């Protein structure tokens, strides 16, 4: 960049006396000289860009958009359905009621917080995504305990009803959640409000298993990205190093 600026300054101050090789004899030679120097300056600028010149978008990459991943969408469904389930089947004065609702909320909120924090801290994103997964796994145990303590049947993974739940979610369009947010409708696509205790609990177990599976894959991608690209500290160091060299 400094070489390019020096060449531009030299062109601006160019006179017949300072011209290397003597003054051009005609307009054509002048144009050829100026065109050659401008071409060299452009080449310097191009090489400077390729060498790693950073801007704000390089330092803080795009982040957020946490509603798009399937993991976040399933966690959103689990949160809304858990509120309905607890209000119907667990007394509000029970500590379990509050713990289950909070665990469902933690699963959803930590995905969002991790996504928003990823712009400046991949480490924080990894940590919060794992917290979301752990919260949902805690909630999974609560639903399994509910079925066992109330002597209700637990669907196996290959049960036709469990397969129907997994297949049903894949049929929802990507914009479904966004449409729901606009209408402010309560999130209950699996009719937990009307389902029996057995169906409701097993449906939530299926959904939580989906969410934790997707979050596990998400964690692997985030870990690989952090390993290959580094975090904010590495980008900041690189940006300062390039800035000082210019």
The residue whose two tokens read 């937990």 is 192
Query: Which residues lie closer than 8 Å to 226 by C-beta, 6 or more apart?
Result: 122, 123, 126
Of the candidates 49, 46, 38, the residue with the CA atom closest to the CA atom of residue 7: 38
Other Cβ atoms less than 10 A from the Cβ of 162: the count is 18
Mean pLDDT, the chain, rounded, equals 79
In this predicted structure, what is the pLDDT of residue 13?
Answer: 64
Instruction: List the alpha helices (DSSP H) in 60-189.
Output: 70-89, 95-117, 122-149, 160-170, 176-183
Write out pLDDT tens, residues 78-90.
999 999 999 999 9
29 pLDDT exceeds 70? yes
In this predicted structure, what is the pLDDT of residue 115?
Answer: 85
The pTM assigned to this predicted structure is 0.66
Q: How far is Cα 207 from Cα 239, in angstroms, rounded to an integer?
A: 43
| Cα–Cα–Cα angle for 91, 96, 100, rounded to 5 degrees | 110
């Amino acid at each position: 960049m400094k070489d390019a600026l020096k060449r531009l300054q030299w062109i601006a101050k160019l006179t017949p006396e300072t011209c290397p090789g003597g003054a051009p004899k005609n307009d054509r030679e002048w144009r050829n000289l100026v065109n050659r120097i401008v071409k060299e300056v452009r080449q310097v600028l191009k090489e400077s860009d390729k060498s790693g010149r950073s801007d704000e978008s390089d330092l803080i990459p795009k982040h957020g958009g946490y509603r798009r991943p399937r993991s976040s969408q399933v966690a959103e469904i689990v949160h809304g359905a858990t509120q309905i389930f607890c209000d119907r089947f667990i007394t509000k004065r029970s500590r379990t009621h509050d713990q289950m609702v909070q665990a469902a909320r933690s699963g959803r909120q930590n995905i969002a917080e991790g996504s928003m924090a990823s712009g400046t801290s991949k480490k924080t994103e990894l940590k919060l995504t794992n917290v979301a997964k752990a919260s949902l796994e805690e909630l999974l145990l609560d639903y399994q305990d509910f079925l066992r303590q109330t002597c209700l049947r637990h669907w196996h993974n290959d049960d036709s009803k469990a397969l129907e739940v997994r297949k049903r979610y894949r049929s929802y369009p990507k914009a479904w959640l966004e449409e729901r947010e606009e209408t402010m409708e309560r999130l209950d696509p699996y009719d937990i409000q009307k389902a029996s205790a057995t169906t409701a609990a097993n449906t939530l177990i299926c959904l939580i298993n989906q969410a934790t599976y997707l979050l596990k894959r998400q964690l692997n991608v985030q870990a690989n990205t952090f390993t290959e690209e580094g975090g904010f500290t590495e980008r900041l160091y690189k940006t300062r190093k390039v800035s000082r060299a210019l």
